């Protein structure tokens, strides 16, 4: 009967969160670049010339073709001759460093690499190449944080402009795409989807927070800044409500069995100024290896908590709140029955959202 009760209260996923990121691209700031793309025939040669005088054009193509931004791999291929850097001829790589990386083809120094190598005492060619490749990674990180560095690089590097132009036209067919869209309208109305894993991952925590507020639990995160909580922290403290909660906090002394690192709990429920429940939550729409991993982790965690209780005179209760239509499958039914029979035998240890409501109702009566 336990399973029937659990399954009858299962919740399905609700599309309550925004599925698209807010469009932050301002086409007004790119009027000149948009007009140049509209007015010119887009070929590798023409695009390379346009990038020299208007390197911000790269931002338009990034917005058109990427969900977020050009990847680190793309940016490395734009700014550097990856084929040459990947070979094993050290002399070729060092020659390339001196001719085309520390300086651009137009003779202007690349100040980032100049300053970077000035700080390094290099004794061998192998060391020099190591620091070169390490410097490239740091350079790309700077580009991601500051597009002006990329624009400066494009403006001064002929080879970079050609690599970008070839990639956009040969790999992404940018010439065909640009010829068949209204660039300004596309940029204004483009919507980038939020990561679906993020949407599903946050659904459970959002749902539980809503339920806790429904039962007048007060969120103490603004008052409690520490990430690691002393087990006795709340004993002698009073708040506006006897029912409170924290999210994403550790309890000092409770560590994960597999790596001995502190365990961060999704929720910590505090009742009458004492920590009462340590909560983990997951939502499963389908079966997968993650369910088995979570299951084993939580079995171990429950045992760790109860061992901690016996040594520290605490009375923490572990609560796994899990939901989703996976639990309505035959595999889900068998898993639930096994968990209830062998591991989570107390009525509060394995709940779904609606059973959490029932449990909170009984606590507050």
* 237 and 354 assigned to the same domain: yes
Q: Are residues 82 and 153 in the same domain?
A: yes
pLDDT > 60? residue 199: no
| 23: pLDDT strictly greater than 80 | no
- Do 81 and 144 reside in the same domain of the chain? yes
Say yes or no: 54 and 152 in one domain.
Answer: yes
317 belongs to a structural domain: yes
CB contact set of 58 (below 8 Å; sequence gap of 6+) = 51, 150, 151, 154, 164
237 and 117 housed in the same domain:
no
The answer to whether residue 121 scores a pLDDT higher than 50 is yes
Quick check: is 21 in a domain?
Answer: no
Single residue among 189, 224, 239 that ends a domain in this structure? 189
The pLDDT mean for the chain works out to 87
User: Does 7 fall in a domain?
Assistant: no
The pLDDT tens digits of the residues spanning 304-335 come to 999 999 999 899 999 999 999 999 999 999 99
Instruction: Give the residue carrying structure tokens 């639930």.
Output: 336
Check: pTM over 0.75? Answer yes or no: no
Give the Cβ contact number of residue 38 at 10 Å.
Answer: 13
Same domain, 330 and 211: yes
184, 201: one domain: no
Whether residue 337 is contained in a domain is answered as yes
Q: Are residues 41 and 164 in the same domain?
A: yes
For the ranges 21-35, 106-120, 164-178, 187-201, the lowest mean pLDDT is seen at 187-201
At 296, which CATH number? 3.40.1350
Location of structure tokens 């309890």: 251
Cα–Cα distance for residue pair 76/256, rounded to 1 Å: 38
pLDDT at residue 54 greater than cutoff 80: yes
Where among 159, 189, 219 does a domain terminate? 189
CA separation, residue 93 to residues 10, 83, 158 (Å):
61, 10, 18
Structural domains of the chain, count: 2
Residue 20 lies in a domain: no
Confidence of residue 170 (pLDDT cuts 50, 70, 90): very high
Q: What was the pLDDT predicted at 235?
A: 47
Query: Does position 80 have pLDDT exceeding 50, yes or no?
Result: yes
Last residue of one domain, picked from the residues 130, 156, 189: 189
CA distance 323 to 191: 30
354 in the same domain as 210: yes
The alpha helices in 24-79, defined as continuous H runs, are 31-39, 44-53, 57-65, 72-79
325 and 246 in a common domain: yes
pLDDT at 276 over 80: yes
> Does some domain include residue 3?
no
CA 134 to chain centre: 24
Asked whether the beta carbons of 226 and 40 are under 8 A apart, the reply is no
* 353 occurs within a structural domain: yes
Task: For residue 263, count other CB atoms closer than 10 A to its CB.
Answer: 18
Question: CA–CA separation, 80 vs 140, rounded Å?
Answer: 10
172 and 201: one domain?
Answer: no
- Asked if residue 233 and residue 163 are part of one domain, the reply reads no
On whether residue 312 sits in a domain, the answer given is yes
Structure tokens at 23: 């469009």
Considering only the C-alpha atoms of the chain, give the largest distance between any 2 of them, rounded to a whole number of Å: 80
Domain limits for position 301: 197-364
Residue 76 to residues 7, 159, 165, 169, 176, Cα–Cα distance (Å) = 51, 13, 14, 18, 25
């Amino acid at each position: 009967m336990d399973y029937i009760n659990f399954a009858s209260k299962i919740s399905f996923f609700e599309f309550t969160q925004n599925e698209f990121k807010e469009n932050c691209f301002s086409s007004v700031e790119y009027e000149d670049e948009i007009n140049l793309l509209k007015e010119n025939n887009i070929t590798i040669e023409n695009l390379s010339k346009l990038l020299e005088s208007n390197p911000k054009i790269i931002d338009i193509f990034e917005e058109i073709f990427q969900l977020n931004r050009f990847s680190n791999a793309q940016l490395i291929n734009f700014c550097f001759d990856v084929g040459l850097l990947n070979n094993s001829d050290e002399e070729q790589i060092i020659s390339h460093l001196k001719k085309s990386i520390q300086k651009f083809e137009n003779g202007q120094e690349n100040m980032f690499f100049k300053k970077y190598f000035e700080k390094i005492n290099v004794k061998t060619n192998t060391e020099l190449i190591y620091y070169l490749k390490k410097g490239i990674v740091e350079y790309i990180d700077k580009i991601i944080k500051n597009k002006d560095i990329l624009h400066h690089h494009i403006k001064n590097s002929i080879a970079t402009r050609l690599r970008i132009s070839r990639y956009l036209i040969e790999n992404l067919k940018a010439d065909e795409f640009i010829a068949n869209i209204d660039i300004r309208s596309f940029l204004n109305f483009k919507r980038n989807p939020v990561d679906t894993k993020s949407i599903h991952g946050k659904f459970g925590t959002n749902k539980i927070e809503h339920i806790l507020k429904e039962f007048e639990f007060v969120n103490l995160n603004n008052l409690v800044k520490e990430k690691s909580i002393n087990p006795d922290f709340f004993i002698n403290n009073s708040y506006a409500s006897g029912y409170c909660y924290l999210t994403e906090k550790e309890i000092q002394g409770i560590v994960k069995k597999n790596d001995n690192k502190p365990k961060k709990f999704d929720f910590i429920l505090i009742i009458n100024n004492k920590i009462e429940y340590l909560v983990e939550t997951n939502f499963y729409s389908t079966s997968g290896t993650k369910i088995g991993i979570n299951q084993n982790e939580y079995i171990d965690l429950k045992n760790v908590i109860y061992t901690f209780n016996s040594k520290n005179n605490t009375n923490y209760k572990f609560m796994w709140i899990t939901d989703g239509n996976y639990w309505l499958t035959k595999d889900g039914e068998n898993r639930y029955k096994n968990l209830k029979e062998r591991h989570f035998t107390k009525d509060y240890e394995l709940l779904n959202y609606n059973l959490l409501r029932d449990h909170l109702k009984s606590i507050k009566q």
